[in-house]
Structure 1
Amino acid sequence: MTDTSPIVRLRDIRLERGGRAILRDINLDVPRGQVVAVLGPSGSGKSTLLSALTGQLVPAAGTVEVLGRAVPRGERELLALRRGIGVLLQGNGLLTDLTAAENVGLPLRTHTELPEPVIRRLVLMKLHAVGLQAAADAYPRELSGGMARRVALARALALDPPLMIYDEPLTGLDPIASGVVMDLVRRLNDTLGLTSIVVTHHVHETLPVADQAIVIANGGIVFAGTPAELEASDDPFVRQFLKGEPDGPIAFDAAPRTPEAA
């Protein structure tokens, strides 16, 4: 029987950094099988929201449920939950002294007891999925920015997580590489039966592959709906963000920001 419950459910969430509220009254359901874009200007709290989903930040109020269960506090339970979440970091996080294949195989060697021939085969399958099987023996320094991002994506997929989280996946990429990465996000989401949350301020590159869009600004969610509804919205918060206007209801740098409130 198909599970129709949300893969992520947030209820009345309040998130704080250093005693200051970053996000308030956050209520959000992420349906299974969709690509959901979480958009917002720099400093709006998008990365803070991710920290709550992965258990790095405990909410000051409210409940966070991921993969059908409340995010646990215990270290062992939290590690078990995180194995079901693939995270693509904006800095890639590849180990420079390991080849592409060794980087992708690292989660498999760390978290499973699979025999080495099986791991090697799985690694090649993951690299093939992102179009980089031929680069298996290359080191990160030998890869372009877009190729390194795709290796990091293959590594995030190594343990076959049902939920993928992308933290600013297009940072530092040229338009062609950005298009390749976003096309991969959509294609892998559909072919592997994933759910994907894409946290980004790259609106125009992300909306074409998204099923739902969330806009965060001024400490809360100011829009939730389809990309078409977002484009058609006349809400002043949304219009200011989409047009990149400096003046409007979104208060840029109105208060000091903590480095984590990205």
Structure 2
Amino acid sequence: MPITPAAVRVSALRLDRGSRTILRDIDLTVAQGSVTAILGPSGCGKSTLLSALTGELTPAAGSVEVLGRPVPQRKRALLELRKGIGVLLQGNGLLTDLTAAENVALPLRTHTDLPAEVIRHLVEMKLHAVGLRAAADLYPRELSGGMARRVALARALALDPPLMLYDEPLTGLDPIASGVIMSLIARLNASLGLTSLIVTHHVHETLPIADRAVVIANGGIVFDGTPAELETTGDPLVRQFLKGEPDGPIPFDAAPRTEAA
């Protein structure tokens, strides 16, 4: 059986913010074409891990490879790498004075020399892919929360990135909109041949579409396996997170981060 190449490979990673170590000893390999859920309680370092993948945060130790090469530190090389990474922010990041179509067109106008007519067709395709072609001329204030999230997704897909990073994609959405977004993520991942990492604490909404689940808590990875294995684990720390229990190995009050070595 051929080995699936890795879209992301992290080895012995330590991430610091100031004098505090947020994550340490992180080893993670994400296969191309997969959907990986990065789970954990709020403040555990999930979004910090994404910052290392995009090159926003330089590792204190260890290595990070994305799309087959180390994440560069030189600005020009880093910008080139980021063209292959789509990021859906939990706050959407839509520009309020631009229409939905103009928001989606922004990466194309910034990073390509395509003619305006080609960009218009590409924007129509991206909005159609998320079911919002009819909303092209609406402004963010005229969109529901779920619609705005889908426009942001269309914009993240504008440059056809092979890797998608979702940072809490269900924040602020009702159950129906959450279901629409998760179904859309799964469908786009399959139809476009993407690799997706979903950072979230919404366990039950995310696991049905995930190939793999990784749980981060107390500064490291405490579980790495299939969703089925996660559901049956007897690990008390993981069980506490899955059941939402206030008492257990994960403290309710954030524990002080360790001093960086």
Same fold flag (TM > 0.5): yes
3-state SS of 1:215 partner? strand
What's the secondary structure of 1:23's corresponding residue? Answer: strand
Aligned to 1:64: 64
- Residue 53 of structure 1: aligned partner: 53
Query: Could you tell me how far apart the structure 1 residues matched to 2:6 and 2:182 are?
Result: 23
The reply to whether residue 99 of structure 1 matches residue 99 of structure 2 is: yes
Large movers: runs of 4+ above 6 Å: none
Give per-residue Cα distances to partners, 1:98-123, cap 9 Å, x unaligned: 00000000000000000000000000
Give the partner amino acid of 2:150: R
Q: Which whole-Å CA distance do the structure 1 matches of 2:65 and 2:251 have between them?
A: 30
> Aligned partners of 2:221, 2:247: CA distance in 1, in Å?
19
1:19 matched residue in structure 2 = 19
Partner of 2:234: 234
Aligned amino acid, residue 248 of structure 1:
G
The code of the aligned residue for 1:143 comes to: L
Unaligned runs of 5+ in 2: none
Pairing 1:144-163 to 2, within 5 Å after superposition = 144-163=144-163
Q: State the distance in 1 between where 2:41 and 2:216 align.
A: 8
**Residues of 1 paired with 2:101 and 2:42: CA distance?**
33
When normalised by structure 1's length, the TM-score is: 0.96
Alignment deviations for residues 242-262 of structure 1 (CA, whole Å, 9 cap, x no partner): 0001111112324347xxxxx
Query: What RMSD, in angstroms, separates the aligned Cα atoms of the two structures?
Result: 1.1
Residue 4 of structure 1, CA deviation? 2.7
Residue 160 of structure 2 is aligned to residue 125 of structure 1:
no
Aligned amino acid, residue 59 of structure 2: P
Matching residue of 1:206? 206
Number of the residue aligned with 2:247: 247
- Kindly provide the amino acid, as one letter, of the partner of residue 182 in structure 2: M
**Matched residue, 2:191:** 191
State the Cα deviation string for residues 57-80 of structure 1 (Å, max 9, x = none): 011000000000000000000000
1:184 aligned counterpart, secondary structure: helix
Aligned match of 1:223:
223
Q: Which residue matches 1:138?
A: 138
Paired with 1:187 and 1:81, the residues of 2 have a C-alpha distance of 25
How far apart, in 2, do the equivalents of 1:252 and 1:76 lie? 42
| One-letter code aligned to 2:212 | Q
1:35-54 to 2 correspondences below 5 Å: 35-54=35-54
Distance (whole Å) between structure 1 residues aligned to residue 237 and residue 161 of structure 2: 34
Partner deviation per Cα, 1:17-63 (whole Å, 9 max, x = no partner) = 11111101000000000100000000100010000000010110000
Deviation for aligned residue 1:237: 1.1
1:260 match? none
Separation of aligned partners in 2, 1:174 and 1:142: 17
> Deviation of residue 3 (structure 1)?
8.2
Change (3 A) 1:133 1:250: same
Aligned pairs, number: 256
| Distance in 2 of aligned mates of 1:138 and 1:104 | 12
With structure 2 as the length reference, what TM-score do the two structures score?
0.96
1:7 aligns to what? 7
2:174 and 2:233 mapped to 1: Cα distance? 29
